[in-house]
Every structure is written in C-alpha cells, then in structure tokens.
Structure 1
Amino acid sequence: MSACHESIRLLTSTRTNSILGIRMSTRIPILVLGATGYIGGSVLARLLAHSDRDEFDITALVRSPRNAARLDSFGITTVIGTLEEAGKLEVLASQAHVVFSMADAKNLRAIQAILRGLRKRREDTGDLPLLIHNSGTACLNDDARGMYSSDVIYDDMKPEQIEALPSSQPHRQVDMAIVEADQRGYLRSYIILPSSVYGIVSGPLVNARVQNPYARLMPHFIRCALDRGQVGMVGNGVSTWNNVEIGELTDLYMILLETLLAEPEKAGHGSEGYYFAENGEHTWCELSRAIGVALRQLGISKNIEPTSLNEEEVAKYGGTLEGGYALGTNARCRANRARALGWRPTKTTNDMLDSLKAQSQALIMEQQAKQQMMM
C-alpha cells in the first residue's frame, strides 16, 4: 500500500458527519470549483484518472444543467449553481475535506463563503480541511507599459516578497483572506500562482464538450492580431513574464495533493504556502512576433513584426485582462518552493513559442466554423 493510500485510509476511517449524525463514506470528499474551465477541468481530469480515484468522493459546482448531466456520467456528484450563491458555496465547502478553488481568482465574496464553510467543518467535525486555490502571477504586475524589463524577481521561498504586495494588486485581497484563515487555524491553505499558461487541452472532458480547451492569455493575443490584421504589443514590448505548460501546471496540482495526503508537513501552508508555476520567461515582443510568424505560416498575415497598440487599441485589447496596460507589465518569478516538492517541469519558453502555430490554427478554424454557422 502506498504512503498516499495509507494516509487516505487513516484519514477517512475515523471521520464522522456531525451535521447529519451518521458516519460518512470512507472516501475523501473533494469539492472542485471551476470544473469546466481550462485549468479546473485539467485538474478534474487528473483526479478522475488518479490511481487513488476510488478513494475520492468528488463534487463539482457547475452553472448549466447540460454540463452537470455530462459530468454525472464520469461518476462525480454535480450541483448546479454559481459563485454568487454564497449560501450554497458555504454548505458545499462545509462538506469537503479538500477544496480546489479554480473558478475566479478575484471573487472575494465567493472565497469568503468558502472560508465560512471550511470554518464550520472544522468546528463541527474536528477535521482540518485543505484549500488549494488557483491565483496567478498577475499579482506581481507593475506599470511598465511595455517600456522596460524589471530586475525584480519574486521567489516563492521568500513569502515576505509576496506579503509586501499591496491589496490593490490583482488577486491580492482574495489571497490575503485565504492566508488569514490559515493563520486562524481552521484550515490549511495552498495558493498556486500560474504564470502565462499555454497549450491546447485534450482528453475525456474536452471530448464530452464539458471543458474549455483553451487558455486565456495567448489566445487573446492571437484574436487581437486576427482582428487588427497584424500582431501588436503595448509600448516596446520589452516587459517580461514567465510561462508554464498546462499539463505541467496540472502536475504541480497533483504533486501538491499527493504530498498533502501522504506527508502533509512537507508542504508549506498559509504565508509559507505560495507556489509559483513557471519554467522560463518571455517578453511581450517575443510572444507577439512568434504569433506573427505563425500567422504568416498559416497564410493569414504577411507582416510578422508587431506594432505598438495605440491608446484606443490598448483600451480595446489590453483592457480585457486586469486593466488597460496589463499586457505590457512585468511579472517575473521563480518556482523554487514548487520544485522543492518534487515538481520537475521540462517544457521551456521555446516550447511555448513553438505551440503558438497550433493555437493560432485552432482559433482560426473555430472562428471560421462560427462564421459558417451564422451564414
């Protein structure tokens, strides 16, 4: 029996549900929020394929009855609802030993409801629940506007750097509330902060038309280029971000979960529980130019060189992600704490740049299919 499996057996064999007054299932209750999303769906797919899948009692909150019905066929419990239904979120969280929060990194009201539910679980059952939350390195954004590359590099082994970020930074109010809950002792929190995530997802949830297969950031850049007829960038495009491939990001989630179930003291939590996800970095200009090359290879555009967005274009394209100049910021980091857990990503920036042709082709085909449906 594996250490992970033995830890699961010991955890579940003594758990009771004081709310219902009956002994609970000997399976670990896991709540997944964001199950139909790019990252959340990828994590859910890995849970479904996990060697200890039979030990997991998975519940997913989904918005549509159609997706609920499709997910039911995978042997999980679905609840129809939204992050705006605080009461429902609180109850669902109170029933979970592990909560994967991967739906909205900015929704403070939702996370407050989740925290209330986990506090109730702690008080009613004595169980110490685990909250694994997906944030993002947008919290590191500066105001470079594409004009310089910062020398500031954040290290997840130096939480004082992250804790010094003001609450006005993207995601920070949510992350701070989570860490405070950990400090109060009624849960243990683990915050994963992905950098620019790339790659097209495939697998059973995508095949079932449940999961979104595309990332947010790079497809956004591609769609902007298709719309304006040429790739663009904010300022001179010399600001720097990190990147991480979606499968390797999901590896980090699984390594963290398995560590928590087998050797929980090995993983830092609370203020020591920030985990960056990165394996390389790029400038916005490099990203834009690689998209330009891809679009020329696909016969869409002749000019591969990016041009600076004017103010109107910044408002149109740059304003969709955390503010008008988010696409020209610096957000540099190193995932040393994640690597200390045994995470070993191998996909590099070159892999990310090489992936842009396939992403561009997929988005072009999707766009053409939509246009045909409208005719």
Structure 2
Amino acid sequence: MKSFASDNTSRVHPKIMESIVNANLDNAKSYGYDEYTLRAENKFKELFGEDIDVYFVYNGTAANVLGLSSMINTYNAIICSEWAHINTDECGAPEKNIGCKIISIPSSDGKIKTEDISKYLFAIGIEHHSQPKVISITQSTELGTVYTKEEIKDIADFAHKNNMYLHMDGARIANAACCLNLDVKEFTKDAGVDVLSFGGTKNGMMFGEAVLFFNKKLSEGFKYRRKQYMQLHSKMRYISVQFETLLSDELYIKNAKNANEMAKYLEVRLREIPNIAITQRVEANAIFASLPREVIDKLLEKYYFYIWNEDKNEVRWMTSFDTTKEEIDEFVEDIKKIIK
C-alpha cells in the first residue's frame, strides 16, 4: 500500500542506511564520546557557527520536551499555535514532564503573530496565573505553511522584549529552508531563535533528532537533563553518523527539495480535478485538500493517508524524499477514475 500519510512512512535514505552499516564495522566509545558524534557536531557548527551547543536524542517529542524544559519552570506557560505538535500530537508530554501550562492560539494557517500573542501577556507578574515564558513555533508548520525570516525575527524580538524565549520545532526544517531558498542559519539563529529542534527522521533518517542551543546559557545542565529524560543513547554513533551523512554534500537539502517539488507537482495535478479543493497554501511537502467522502473511502482501499477533518472531508497528503512523479501520476489517475 503506497503511503501519502507522512514523511515518517518513507524509507531510510540509502546513503544514511549505508552510513549506519559502516558505523557497525567496529567498536566505538559510548554515550557520545565517539568520533562520529564529534564529526556530526562539527557539521552543525559549520551550518550555524561555533558558538552553539548540540545534543542528540531519539525522537521529535523528546527534542521538543527537553528543549522546552531548559527554558521554563513549572509555573510558566508555553504559547503556541493550536496546531502545534506539542499541543496536539505529543500526548501531553510537555505538561506531564515539565509540569507547565500550554496556551494554544487559534490559527487558520498554522502560524501565529505577535498580535495574537500579546493578549496573553496580561498576567505577567500576577501570581494567580501561569507566567508566559516561551513562544514555540513550528517550521514548516503542521499545516504545511512556512514562516518567513521576517516573521520569525518579529516574534523573536517580541519574545525577548517581554523577557521570553523563542523555541522552534524544526521537524521539517529542511523543507522550510528549501521553500524560503535560505540558509537555515538565516531564519533560525540569525533571526533570534533561542533553541531549535532540528529534524532528521522526517527527512531520510532512521531515527534521531538534534537539540541546538543558540542561547548557550540555556544549555547549562542539559546533559544531565537528557539522561534523566532517558534520551542518552549509549551507542550514540548510530544517531550521530546519520546526521553526519545528512549534513554532508547538502543531502538534507536535496531530500527536502524533492519532497517539496513533489508536493507542488501533486498540487498542479490535483487542480486538473474540479471536485477537489486545495485548502492550504502548498509551501513545503504537505497538501491539504477537500474532496467527496466516497472518493476518500475508495482511495483508502489502495493508499494510506490521514483524514484531517471529518466534518470538512479534508485530507492531508505528504510527500517525501523518495516520492516520484510516477507515483503521483498514478495516484491522480486513480482519483480521476473514481470520480468518473
């Protein structure tokens, strides 16, 4: 069954799989004291500069929760979009593990603005209310849209002016970079992001994410926090070597570029079909569309994907580094056959 459900369902990129096999040819030091981890950290420093701290973890939920936990106390609050992964898809992990409150802001496109955030700052200094301390944004968003560099800088400046921090969930950070045609540093570190979850799993890796601290004072004690949260991989090299490979020869950009291009191609092909309405801007590697329910049900017999909104018959189709035009053409032709 072909999947358009998520870039999590894609294969591991062959070069990354090969790197894992090669890392398995001999012994190596454990807990990140190996040569692979050092090289992977240096790859990140080539991208973002030497003045950062880099930590590897297993998955995106851990990257987000651990990154946020370094910025916040239990009496604080995190402000994010209602669609944010930390609000909808992490099973309450931030609340349980950090013990803080999440304030979610309604959003039609997955993005939030300073004017949306400002109304939640009235309680600063009042002990009866959770104290807003972190703004968390997702790049690209859960609705497939992308923040511009200027939008991110505006939020970062607003956060810092109000004694807050800016966290970025970058599970699909490379897809955003391709959309913006910018170096990742320009719309993260240079724009004022304090802590970044840098995604690997959705972009060709088997497993592994990175937590990057641009505000290095926030990383104090993080290695102990990572251990307490059960995210210190003893055989760290199997995460690190994947990042080393992903960040070499711009593989992370090449992977994301194909995913984005295939989403755009799918959008073009879908617009040939009058019964389908594209419901969000196609900026990264996600297509949101509304179509008749009977068509959705028939498609689900052959393809794996998610119904996003039952009431609106809205679905989400995702493309990946390994999606091909031939697969999309077959998918679109199947839709046309069903609608006929």
TM (normalized to structure 2)?
Answer: 0.34
